[in-house]
Amino acid sequence: MSNDLLTESLKIQQAVTPRRDSTASTLYNGSVLGATGVGIDTKDFDEAQIMLQIGLISSGTLDCSVYDSSVGNNSTGSTLVTGASFAQVSSSYVGSTGVFVGSIKTKNTKRYLYVKTVLTTADVKDFAVTVALGKGDGAMPVTQGQTVAFQV
């Protein structure tokens, strides 16, 4: 496979850059609701794999869900993609780290995706969210330690 073909068939985007957050917050692709320029454009792609990477969760919880919108520069008005939510992660999470993966057929969504993260309590939470967009009907190759959290 040539590099050009790979570049055209796969796009990796960091929805939430690796972060250590110690404040309670609700973010869309790492920004507050209504921030401009944060939508993940799925145009020309068939599938999105959302990878939630977890590090330390000292207390409280982390919720992570995928929203869609026809507007790419503002998360206001985005709606939950039915079934596209990870199980809540808390300090009682058995593993010290983990990668959780969900898959979305983008033909079933509006053009732009937003990953909403909700952090409760002002305690340390280490996490990141990466989105891999792919073309074609086959399953995208992602290795993970956990089963796929959702596939819609």
Using one digit for the tens of pLDDT, what is the confidence trace for 7-30?
A: 678 899 999 999 888 888 898 998
48 vs 101: CA distance, rounded Å: 10
For 6-42, the DSSP string reads HHHHEEEEEEEEEEEE-S-EEEETTB-TT-SS--EE-
Q: Across all residues in the chain, what is the average pLDDT?
A: 84
Q: How confident is the model at residue 40 (pLDDT cuts 50, 70, 90)?
A: very high
Cα–Cα distance measured from residue 83 to residue 11, given in angstroms and rounded to the nearest whole number: 23
Residue 13 in tokens = 């985007």
User: 18 has which bridge partners?
Assistant: none
Confidence of residue 69 (pLDDT cuts 50, 70, 90): very high
Predicted local distance difference test score (pLDDT) of residue 35: 77
What is the architecture of the domain spanning 3-136?
Sandwich (2.60)
Residue 1's pLDDT is 47
Residue 125: pLDDT band (50, 70, 90) is: confident
pTM passes above 0.95: no
Residue 147 has what pLDDT? 65
* pLDDT greater than 80 at residue 120: yes
What number of other Cβ atoms are within 10 A of residue 110's Cβ? 17
The DSSP H or E segment spanning 137 is none
